[in-house]
Structure formats: structure tokens, C-alpha cells
Amino acid sequence: MLRSYRGRLLLAFLAVTLASLALFAGLTAAQVVRYSRQARAEELRMRLKLVSNWLDPGSPAGQEALHSLSADLSAALLVIYPDDRPRFYASDGYALSAADIAEARAVAADAALSLPPHASGGRPATTLQRGGLAIAVQPLPLADGTTALLIAAEPAARLELGWRRLLDALAYAALLGLAGSLLLALLLARSISRPVNCLIAAADRVTQGVYDDPPLPAGDDELGRLTRAFNAMREQVRQSQQIQRDFLAGVSHDLKTPLTVIQGYAAALADGVATDEPPSSAGQESALRRAAVGIQREADRMARLIAALLELARLETGLTPFHPQPIDPTALARRALADLASQAAEAGVRLEDALPASLPVVDADPDQLERVLANLLENAVRYTPAGPSTALRTGAAVTVSGGRGQAGVAIWVEDAGPGIPEEALPRVFDRFYQADPARAAGRWGSGLGLAIAREIVLRHGGAITAENRPPRGARFTVTLPESCQQVTTPLQNSYTAVAPP
């Protein structure tokens, strides 16, 4: 039982319950015993006090009253005179033995010595225990002006009868409470251990490679927070596994296509189909040259894909060196525009420069940051339909970050394409993730440009975001912290728009 979480909870509940019951029972028993003894002693004192105010023990009526009081109190009554008059003894409630009578007389003698001369009946009775007897002594004024002693005696064990009955009742109540506590402990242990057992079962399924189970129900307590964290972790693992599967499928396809082309040309060369014979008509290439060009083209495509994979791996592991320096982001963005102008013109896309004249300086590695802008521009050109009415717009804005009021410099690339599905926006920068594989089919690129861009921006302490800008396409924004230094090496910032053919 101690090895299970539920068993330890049950034992803990029982230990707390038993400790509480034991403490309560001990305190209650002590109070009950004390109260029972005090109540019985007070009863004897009050009854003797009331009787002493009118009792004449020498009269027949007084003696009859003493017999009735003895039966009512279940105690023996003695009247001890200060002179040689015989004592009066009433045993209707309890009969004293000779030894008990002698003990009572000794108590009376001690009490007589403590009485002041001519003590009146107003003196309260005293109670004490001696020799197994509970004895109450009350001064009793007589008609002749002397004072006798009225003694009530009973076994001391009778004082315990009341509290013993009460303790028996308390014991039964404690047993009933213990049984109820045990049932409640079982229910509580079960209710607390149930979500833990569910978590254990779900974790076992995760270790078996099952990530598609529905989320576990979670409350608002500590176990609920743990359950929500587990659900989020499992969902992240599931997404990661799905991304890796998609990546393997995409990489396999991207590698298989050029390999198939290369194998086809290689087979043609091996079979002698592709030869270096002159073309049959003007403007035609020889079969051998076409095969060589095709092999080179597909090999370059494979090399680009492998280079992108290696670059992303080096960025994620921190092996790529960075050399930050104060740079002008406007000049860097315009240089990236100039580098991509001819490629955009070939794709039938017009680039528009909407950058301001100047922007605050940022600390960045110019080559790496230009790679980010190039990736974003290539991605925008890729998804922008060709035509004179389409445009690619890049712009910038200064924003204020939280905390110390440091400014951030933002550069965004906005395309005129179909945009990004809303459900894909949170994952568009994930490595190997394609928002719409069907839409991306037939478009050139490794599919790792956005993931590489995110890693570079994060290494610069910046942020990169994506959003849709209806009625235009998507906007990708890069934000970098502003530098406190000045540009020491200016960049070439000229850009001349190249119209699409």
C-alpha cells in the first residue's frame, strides 16, 4: 500500500484523523472527569447546605428528613455532636462499614478542629476524598447554640459513574467518526489519485508513441495545472512529430525529383541514347548537352536543399558565427531589393521601394540580416502572382518596446499573394512546416527560408512575425533593437526598380 500514491494518501488521512480523535478524546475525557467530580461534589455541598438551614436532627421530623435525604443522595448521613450525645446514622442510601464509620468520625474530628468557635450554619460545606470515600462535611447549628457536623459519605467510585457512561458514549461516537473518516478518506484518496492515474496512463501512451488522445480534463487546482501542462506538452510533441513527418515527406520528394531526372539522363548516357551528334535543325541542342545541363540543374537543386538544411542546423546549434556592427537598416534593405530585382523581374513581379529616407541604427551582422531580408523577399516573390497590377512593398516604422523605453526598428515585406491561412500563422516559422503543401507545389525553394530567418533574427535579440493584410497578401515584419552607436561603414543603398518583362 505504501508504494502507491493512493495508499499513502489514505494512510495520511487516517493518521491525521486518528491523531485528531486521540487529542479530542483525551481533552474531552479530562474535562468530563473533572466536571463530573465537581458536579457531584457541588451537589452534595448544596444539598447539605440547604438542609442545615432548618434541620433539627434531634426531632423525629428531622431524623425522617435525614433518612429521605440519604435515600435521595444514595449516600450515608452522619450527625456528629460536639458532646457525648449519641451520633445519628442514616444508611438508606448507602451503608457504611465499621471502618468507614471510623474514617468518617476521623474526618469529623479534623473538621471540628478547623471550625471557628460558635460557627454558624452559614459556613459552606467542604468535600474531600479519604480511604476510598467521598465525604462532605457541613456545620449544623443546634437549638442549644452548639454546632454539630452533618456528614455525607459515599464510595469515591460513584463519582466516576457519570463520566464513565459519558466516556462510553464518546467512545462509540469516536468509533462511528473513525468509520466515517475512513470512508471519507477512501473517497478523497480516490478523487485525488484518479487524475494522477489518468496522467500516468496518458504518459505511458506517450512513451508508446501515441499522441492523438483527447486532452485530459483539468481543474483549477495544482493537479489541474499539471494536467494542462501535460496536455500542452503532448500537443507540442504531436505537432513536432507531425512536422518531422511532413519534413521527411517533403525532403524525400524534393530529393527524389532531381534524383529521378539525374537517373534518367544518366541512363540515357549509359545506353548511348544521348550522343554528341549535331542537332537535326537550327536552334536545337544536342542530346548530350541537354543531358549535361539537366544533370547540373538538378544537382544544383539538391545542393541548395542540403545547404539550407546544414545552415539551419548550424544556426540552431549556435555554430554559425555572428559579427554584429552598427548598420543602417534602410541601406541594407535597399541592397537586398537591388540583389533581387532581376529575379523578381523574371517572375513578372514589380518591386516597390517604400522605405523612408533613414532609420535608426541597429546592431546586426549585415550578411546574416541581408539573408533574412533576401529570404523574405524571395518568399514574397514566390507567392505573388505575376502581372503589372501586382506589387511587392517593403517599408519600415519605429516602435517603442516595454520596460526602459528603448526603441525598436521594424522592416516588413508585404506581398500581393493569397495570404496565409489563419490556423497556419502560429506555425509558419516552424522548421519544415508548409502552411499549404498543395499551394506550394511547383514553387522553387527549399521550404526552410522562414525557419532560417527566424533563427537569425532571434540570434540578434529581435522578433519576426507574420500577419495577413487584406485585401493584399501576407506581411512579414522583422523588429530589431535600436543601437546606441553610429554607422562606421556605410552600405551601398542604391536601388533601381526593374520592370517585369
**Could you tell me the residue ranges of all domains in the chain?**
5-162, 222-316, 325-481
pLDDT at position 491 is 55
CB 302 within 8 A of CB 256: no
Kindly list the distances between the CA atom of residue 116 and the CA atoms of 27, 85, 122, 146, in Å, as whole numbers in the listed order: 40, 21, 12, 12
Residue 345 makes CB contacts below 8 A (sequence gap 6+) with 498, 499, 500, 501
Q: How is domain 325-481 classified at the CATH fold level?
A: Heat Shock Protein 90 (3.30.565)
Q: How far apart are CA 7 and CA 276, in angstroms?
A: 85
pLDDT at position 366 is 92
SS3 129: strand
Q: How is domain 222-316 classified at the CATH fold level?
A: Helix Hairpins (1.10.287)
**Per the confidence metrics, is the pTM higher than 0.75?**
no
CB 310 within 8 A of CB 455: no
Q: How far apart are CA 394 and CA 467, in angstroms?
A: 14
Q: Which of 369, 388, 284 is nearest to 330 (CA)?
A: 369
The yes/no answer on whether domain 5-162 falls in CATH 3.40.190.10 is no
pLDDT at position 441 is 44
CB 306 within 8 A of CB 255: no
Residue 324, preceding bond cis, omega within 30 degrees? no
User: Residue 414: how many CB atoms within 10 A of its CB?
Assistant: 23
Q: At residue 487, what are phi and psi to the nearest 5 degrees?
A: -70, 130
Q: In CATH terms, are 5-162 and 222-316 the same topology?
A: no
Per the listing, cell 492515474 goes with 197
CB 416 within 8 A of CB 473: yes
CA angle 368, 370, 376 (to 5 degrees): 110
CB 149 within 8 A of CB 126: no
Q: How far apart are CA 290 and CA 244, in angstroms?
A: 36
Q: How far apart are CA 190 and CA 7, in angstroms?
A: 10
Q: At residue 286, what are phi and psi to the nearest 5 degrees?
A: -70, 155
In residues, how long is the chain? 501
pLDDT by 10s per residue, the chain, length 501:
556 666 767 777 777 877 887 787 778 777 777 777 777 778 888 888 888 888 888 888 888 988 898 888 888 888 888 777 777 888 887 888 888 778 777 776 776 655 544 444 445 556 666 667 788 888 888 888 888 888 888 887 766 666 666 667 777 877 887 788 778 777 777 777 777 788 888 888 888 888 788 888 887 877 788 888 988 888 888 877 777 777 677 677 667 777 887 888 777 777 766 565 555 544 445 677 777 877 887 788 778 777 877 887 788 777 788 889 999 888 888 888 888 888 878 888 878 888 887 888 889 999 999 999 988 888 888 887 765 443 444 433 222 232 223 548 898 888 877 888 888 888 888 766 666 554 444 444 556 788 889 999 999 999 999 998 777 778 888 999 987 766 555 555 444 444 444
What is the DSSP secondary-structure string of 164-227?
Answer: HHHHHHHHHHHHHHHHHHHHHHHHHHHHHHHHHHHHHHHHHHHHTT---SPPPP--SSHHHHHH
What is the DSSP secondary-structure string of 392-415?
Answer: EEEEEEEEE-SSS--EEEEEEEE-
Q: How far apart are CA 59 and CA 52, in angstroms?
A: 14
Amino acid occupying residue 425? L
What is the DSSP secondary-structure string of 256-313?
Answer: HHHHHHHHHHHHHHHHT-S--PPPSSTTPPPHHHHHHHHHHHHHHHHHHHHHHHHHHH
pLDDT at position 187 is 77
Q: Which of 301, 242, 294, 230 is nearest to 267 (CA)?
A: 294
pLDDT at position 367 is 92
pLDDT at position 180 is 80
